Chain A
Amino acid sequence: MDAYDLIVIGTGPGGYHAAIRAAQLGLKVLAIEKGEVGGVCLNVGCIPTKALLHVAHVLEAGAKAAEFGLVLEKKALDLEKLAGWRDRVVKKLTGGVEFLFKGNGVALKRGEARLLSPREVAVGDERFRARHVVLATGSRPVELPAFPFDEARVVSSTGALRVEAGIPKRLLVVGGGAIGLEFASIYRALGAEVTVVELMDRILPGADREAVTQLARALKKRGIALKTGTQAQGFEEKEDGLHVTLADAEGKETEALVVDRILVAVGRRPNHEGLGLEAVGVRTDARGFVPVDERMRTQVPGLYAIGDLVGPPLLAHKAMKQGVVAAEVAAGKKSAFDQQIPSVVYTHPEFASVGLSEEAAKARGLEVRVGRFPFTANGRALTLQETAGLVKVITEAESGVLLGVHAVGPGASELIPEAALALEMGALGADLELTVHPHPTLSESLMEAAANLEKAAIHILNK
Chain B
Amino acid sequence: MPKEVLLPELAESIVEGEILKWLVEEGDPIKKDQPIVEVMTDKVTVELPSPYEGVLVKKLVQEGDVVPIHTPIALIAEPGEEGAVPAAAVATAGVEEAAPVAESGEERVLFKPDATEPEVKSPFAVAAEAPPRAAVAATEPKAGTNRFGRVLAVPAARKLARELGVAIEEVPGSGPAGRVRVEDVRRYAEERARTPAALAVAPGGFPPPYPYRTPAGYQGLEERKPLRGLRRVIAQGLWQSHLYTVRTLNVDELDATELVRLREVLKPEAEAAGTKLSYLPFIFKAVVQALKKFPQLNASFDWEREEIVYKKYYNLGMAVATDQGLVVPVVKDVDKKTVLELAAEVRALAEKARAGKLAPEDVAGSTFSITNIGSIGAVFSFPIINVPDAAILGVHSIQDRPVVRDGQIAIRKMMYLSLSFDHRLVDGAEAAMFLKEVIRILEAPGRLLLEMR
Contacts and interface: CB of A to CB of B under 8 A. Distances in A.
Interface of A: 139, 142-146, 175-180, 198-200, 204-207, 231-234, 249, 251, 265-269, 285-287, 289, 291-294, 296, 310-315, 322, 334-339, 341, 343, 345, 353, 355-357, 359-360, 363-367, 396, 399-401, 403-404, 424-426, 428
Top 10 A-B residue pairs of the complex, sorted by shortest distance between their CB atoms = A311-B137, A286-B131, A365-B88, A206-B109, A177-B113, A365-B86, A426-B152, A426-B179, A312-B115, A267-B116
A177 B107 contact: no
Contacts of B115: 267-268, 287, 311-314
25 contacts: A142-B127, A176-B113, A177-B113, A177-B114, A178-B114, A198-B113, A205-B112, A206-B108, A231-B121, A234-B123, A265-B113, A266-B113, A266-B120, A266-B124, A267-B126, A287-B116, A291-B138, A311-B139, A334-B165, A337-B141, A338-B158, A353-B110, A356-B107, A400-B176, A426-B152
Interface in B108-162: 108-118, 120-127, 130-132, 135-139, 141-142, 147-149, 152-155, 158-159, 162
A310 B138 contact: yes
B123 A292 contact: no
B400 interface: no
A199 to B, nearest CB: 6
A95 B203 CA distance: 53
B175 interface: yes
B147 A285 contact: no
Contacts of B227: none
B216 interface: no
B99 to A, nearest CB: 8
B325 to A, nearest CB: 43
A176 B152 CA distance: 34
Contacts of B130: 286-287
B114 A268 contact: yes
Contacts of B179: 425-426
Nearest to B153: A426
Nearest to B116: A267
A365 B87 contact: yes
Contacts of A251: 121-123
B135 A287 contact: yes
B177 interface: yes
B161 to A, nearest CB: 9
B329 interface: no
A143 B99 CA distance: 33
Contact of A366 (B88, B122, B137, B162): B88
B111 A357 contact: no
A294 B118 contact: no
Contact of B137 (A177, A206, A310, A401): A310
Contact of B131 (A287, A341, A359): A287
B139 A292 contact: yes
B152 A364 contact: no
B106 interface: yes
Interface of B: 1, 86-89, 91, 99-100, 103, 105-118, 120-127, 130-132, 135-139, 141-142, 147-149, 152-155, 158-159, 162-163, 165, 175-177, 179-180
A367 B88 CA distance: 10
Contacts of A266: 113, 120, 124, 127
B113 A313 contact: no
B124 A144 contact: yes
A339 B141 contact: yes
Nearest to B149: A364
B88 A146 contact: no
Contact of A367 (B1, B116, B152): B1
Given A287-B116, A291-B137, A426-B152, A335 B162 contact: yes
Nearest to B177: A399
Nearest to A289: B137
Given A204-B112, A251-B123, A357-B107, 20 more contacts: A145-B125, A177-B114, A180-B113, A206-B107, A234-B123, A267-B113, A267-B126, A286-B131, A286-B135, A287-B135, A315-B111, A335-B159, A336-B158, A339-B141, A341-B108, A345-B110, A356-B106, A364-B87, A401-B152, A404-B107
Nearest to A180: B113
B388 to A, nearest CB: 36
Contacts of A338: 141-142, 158
A286 B132 CA distance: 8
Contacts of B132: 286
B117 A294 contact: no
Contacts of B131: 285-287
B162 A285 contact: no
Contact of B139 (A143, A322, A334, A359): A322
Given A399-B177, A426-B152, A249 B116 contact: no
Contacts of A204: 110, 112
A425 B179 CA distance: 8
Contacts of B163: 334
Contact of B108 (A249, A287, A313, A337): A313
Most buried by A among B89, B107, B109: B107
Nearest to A268: B114
A411 B191 CA distance: 46
Contacts of B154: 424-426
Contact of A294 (B116, B120, B124, B142): B142
Contacts of A314: 111, 114-115
B145 to A, nearest CB: 13
Nearest to A292: B138
B103 A363 contact: yes
Contacts of A403: 148
B127 A178 contact: no
Contacts of B122: 231, 251
Nearest to A425: B154
Contact of B123 (A144, A206, A287, A337): A144
A428 B113 contact: no
A355 B152 CA distance: 13
Nearest to A207: B110
B158 to A, nearest CB: 7
A285 B114 contact: no
Contacts of A312: 105, 108-109, 111-112, 114-115, 137
